[in-house]
C-alpha cells in the first residue's frame, strides 16, 4: 500500500482565509495526506469555475446559487453542483458524496457535504456558507456526528 502522502499529495498549508501559513522561521508550512486532499476540495468549492488560468475545469458554480430563490428545483440543483464538484476529485470514493441544505433564507445558504477518500475508513465533512449581502463564501471542516475530535 502506498504512503498517504503519495496518494493524497502535499501542498502549502492555507488558513481559513486561504492565506499561506508561515512558520516562525519564515518558511511556508506544508501539509500532506488527508489534510492536503481536503484543502484541495475546499479550494475547488471556493474557486469560481474557470478561475484558474492553468486549470480551466477547476472550481465550481456554487457562488451563483446565492442569487436563486429557495425552491425545490434550486435546492436540488445546488446539492447536485456540490456533489458534482467534490466527485471530480479522483481521490474521492465513487458513490460516497452526500450533500444537504442546512439553511436557505434571507441571510444566506448553508450546505453540508460528506464523502470518503480511497483507503481511508473515516468520512470527511465540510460546511459551505454563502452569505447573501456580499456573497461571501466560507467553508469549514466539521466533525461528523459521534466524532469528537479523537
C-alpha torsion angle, residues 116, 145, 62, 90 (rounded to 10): -10
C-alpha cell at 51: 478561475
147 pLDDT exceeds 60? no
Q: Per-residue DSSP letters for 61-112?
A: SGGGGGGS---HHHHHHHHHHHHHHHHTSTTBPTT--EEEEEEEETTEEEEE
95-112 pLDDT tens trace: 999 999 999 998 899 999
Q: Per-residue DSSP letters for 72-83?
A: HHHHHHHHHHHH
145 pLDDT exceeds 60? no
17-30 pLDDT tens trace: 889 999 999 999 99
CATH code for the domain defined by 4-141: 3.10.450.40
148 pLDDT exceeds 50? no
pLDDT value, residue 1: 42
Domain ranges of the chain: 4-141
Mean pLDDT (the chain) is 87
The more confidently predicted of residues 145 and 69 is: 69
Amino acid at each position: 500500500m502506498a504512503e498517504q502522502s503519495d496518494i493524497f499529495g502535499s501542498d502549502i498549508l492555507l488558513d481559513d482565509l486561504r492565506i499561506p501559513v508561515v512558520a516562525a522561521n519564515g518558511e511556508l508550512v506544508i501539509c500532506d495526506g488527508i489534510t492536503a486532499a481536503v484543502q484541495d476540495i475546499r479550494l475547488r468549492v471556493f474557486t469560481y469555475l474557470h478561475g484558474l488560468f492553468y486549470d480551466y475545469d477547476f472550481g465550481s458554480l456554487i457562488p451563483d446559487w446565492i442569487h436563486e430563490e429557495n425552491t425545490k428545483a434550486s435546492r436540488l440543483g445546488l446539492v447536485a453542483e456540490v456533489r458534482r464538484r467534490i466527485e471530480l476529485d479522483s481521490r474521492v470514493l465513487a458513490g460516497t458524496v452526500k450533500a444537504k441544505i442546512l439553511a436557505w433564507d434571507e441571510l444566506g445558504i448553508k450546505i453540508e457535504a460528506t464523502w470518503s477518500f480511497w483507503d481511508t475508513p473515516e468520512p470527511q465533512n465540510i460546511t459551505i456558507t454563502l452569505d447573501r449581502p456580499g456573497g461571501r463564501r466560507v467553508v469549514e471542516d466539521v466533525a461528523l456526528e459521534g466524532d469528537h475530535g479523537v
